[in-house]
Amino acid sequence: MGFPTGDDLANAKMWMNGKIIPWADAKVHVLTHALHYGSGVFEGIRAYATEDGPAIFRLDDHMERFLLSGKVYGMEYPHTREELSEACKAVVRENGLASAYIRPIAYYGYGRLGVHPSGLPIEVAVGAWEWGSYLGDEALEKGVRVALSPWRRIPPDALPVSAKACGQYLSSILGTMSVKKNGFHEALFLDHNGNVSEGSGENIFIIKDNVILTPHTGSSILEGITRDSVMTIARDLGYEVREKTLVMGDVFGADEAFFTGTAAEVTPIREVEYRTIGSGEPGPVTREIQTVYLDAVRGRRPEYASWLTRVAPRTKTVEEAA
Ligand code: PPE
């Protein structure tokens, strides 16, 4: 099952405000606050097929960021962290998915408009479906072509970029619309100082002389959980990893480059602004890290087993068992 359409809809399920409901019933009113002002926060999480059935990658870390994002915007979720984690497992289980992309969202709901959200309900929903390769079928294998977004990243004194907030993605939308029109796979954003920041939905890494470099948090990046996983993997493989200010010259001069993100996983970058990166083929360090990452998420690397939360099958109710 991909993104549920047509016949799938009859069986697909969502979790909304504490209950599992039919996919088609997960609706909001058009005067919902978040639709007008972008006042929502969300997560993107993947579950992978493992020998023990589906397992969610770094669920605790995603829940931690989900809670922090909500806190930034003054949202008190009417659910505990445990309930939200359980909801993520439930949508995978109830949809019978072997692997999935899981999308929790919390937002200011319906009640009245006006920017100040006081008194509005906080709605929370979680959906799950199969989501293949984010940047196209051949992206993981062959790498992607990237162009600079004409729009810079939102500066950290305009919005707290560590929160994964819906409204922030307007910037990503503008950037991808520009570059996709010109036939590129993805946009790379500079920050307000003109330093390298991130992709529309990914962090960026470059490799120079076997050292792995990535922009630090001062460059308006979302602190990606995949970014953190890749830094751990790279250090475990013996590489030096540095978070630092990067400029476009560093990217053009890199031996290799790649994007990281839950949706994009580890995607090699083969070209930026019409300049080939390295040989133009995914490089050996990128491949090595990509291989370990794609193995780790599938439970094939015991050293990273603590990153996985198993989605145990639903236990039968007393009536079902009888
Ligand atoms: N930067 C941005 C702007 C971003 O949206 C993401 C995730 C990342 C970095 C990487 O973060 P992490 O997933 O924790 O490693 N983007 C999510 C949404 C993509 C979408 O189009 O929707 C994702 O990958 O799920």
Specify the CATH number for the domain of residue 176. 3.20.10.10
pLDDT of residue 133: 87
- pTM greater than 0.85: yes
Does residue 315 sit within a domain? no
> What DSSP state is assigned to residue 18?
T
How far, in Å, are 62, 257, 259, 314, 317 from residue 321 at the CA level?
34, 53, 47, 12, 6
Q: Which two tokens stand for residue 106?
A: 């919390």
* Rg, the chain, Cα only: 20
Q: Of all protein residues, whose CA lies closest to atom 8 belonging to ligand 1?
A: 202
3-state SS assignment for residue 197? strand
Question: Which residues does 279 contact at the CB level (< 8 Å), separation at least 6?
Answer: none
Are 172 and 80 part of one and the same domain? no
Are 69 and 168 part of one and the same domain? no
Tell me if 122 CB under 6 Å of ligand 1. Answer: no
Does residue 307 sit within a domain? no
CATH (domain of 81): 3.30.470.10
Does residue 312 sit within a domain? no
Backbone torsion region of residue 245, taken as left when φ is above 0, otherwise alpha when ψ lies between -120 and 50, otherwise beta: beta
Tell me if 46 CB under 6 Å of ligand 1. Answer: no
pLDDT tens, N- to C-terminus, the chain (322 residues): 688 888 888 899 999 999 999 999 999 999 999 999 999 999 999 999 999 999 999 999 999 999 999 999 999 999 999 999 999 999 999 999 999 999 999 999 999 999 999 999 999 999 999 998 888 889 999 999 999 999 999 999 999 999 999 999 999 999 999 999 999 999 999 999 999 999 999 999 999 999 999 999 999 999 999 999 999 999 999 999 999 999 999 999 999 999 999 999 999 999 999 999 999 999 999 999 999 999 999 999 999 999 999 998 777 667 766 6
User: Distance from the CA of 217 to the center of ligand 1, in angstroms?
Assistant: 15
Are 99 and 225 part of one and the same domain? no
Are 149 and 124 part of one and the same domain? no
Residue 211 sits in which domain range? 139-300
Are 147 and 242 part of one and the same domain? yes
Are 172 and 282 part of one and the same domain? yes
Q: Of all protein residues, whose CA lies closest to atom 6 belonging to ligand 1?
A: 201
Tell me how far apart the alpha carbons of residues 221 and 204 are, in angstroms, rounded to a whole number. Answer: 9
Quick one: which atom of ligand 1 is closest to the CA of 101? 25
Are 46 and 115 part of one and the same domain? yes
Q: Is 27 a catalytic residue?
A: no
pLDDT of residue 316: 67
Angle at which helix 59-72 crosses helix 81-94, to 10 degrees, equals: 120
Are 282 and 143 part of one and the same domain? yes
Are 169 and 275 part of one and the same domain? yes
> What DSSP state is assigned to residue 80?
-
Are 291 and 178 part of one and the same domain? yes
Tell me if 222 CB under 6 Å of ligand 1. Answer: yes
pLDDT of residue 312: 84
Are 48 and 197 part of one and the same domain? no
Does residue 319 sit within a domain? no
Does residue 310 sit within a domain? no
How does strand 144-148 pair with strand 265-272?
parallel
The total domain count for the chain is 2
Pocket probe mutation, ligand 1, options 153, 202, 228, max atoms within 8 Å of Cβ: 202
Does residue 313 sit within a domain? no
The answer to whether residues 23 and 13 touch, using CB atoms and an 8 Å cutoff, is yes
pLDDT of residue 286: 98
Are 32 and 179 part of one and the same domain? no
Does residue 57 sit within a domain? yes
Does residue 200 sit within a domain? yes
